Amino acid sequence: MDHIFDLTIPSNRTEAAPLELDVDIGEGVVHFVTVQFPRGCAGLAHVRVRQALTPRWPSNEGADYNWDNYVHEIREHFLIKKGDAPLTLVGWNEDDTFPHTLTFRFSILPQEIMEPWKAQMGILDTLLKLLGVRPKGSKR
């Protein structure tokens, strides 16, 4: 499933008082993220994505993305579970004249599709329990 969100950042929006938008993409594994910077941003529009207080994209504290006429693509494998905090798009704009609209795309699939081995491990665990076998070092 693809989820698409636009973030229109007004001119003169500072990093100290950024525009924030919580987005709900459901639960599953985020496997692909894009951030589109249209022509004209000139590196003046800045964005980052966080979850609660944790930076997600980019993942290092204090970093941000800022380009012009560029689509940044991120290959990912990030699990979002039911009850997790939403993702928050955070943006500011150093342009003193024009607002800028950036487009975010999140591709997410169910965990069982992205991690099919987990289901197989569950079946194996059940079979081992039925046979009375415990893996070495297991506390189960």
Check if the beta carbon of residue 55 is closer than 8 Å to that of residue 61.
yes
What's the CA gap between 67 and 43, in Å, rounded?
Answer: 4
For residue 111, the model assigns a pLDDT of 80
Spatial separation of the C-alpha atoms in residues 77 and 106, rounded to whole Å = 12
- Whether this prediction's pTM lies above 0.75 is answered by yes
In order of 84, 107, 131, the CA distances from 55 in angstroms are 14, 18, 45
pLDDT in tens, 20-66: 999 999 999 999 999 999 999 999 999 999 999 999 999 999 999 99
The CA–CA distances, whole Å, from 23 to 113, 139, 140 equal 23, 40, 39
- Token pair in block for residue 90: 């955070």
- Cα–Cα dist 105/102, whole Å: 10
Give residue 95's pLDDT.
98
Element (H, E) at 52: none
- What structural domains and CATH numbers belong to the chain? 2-109 (2.60.120), 115-140 (no CATH)
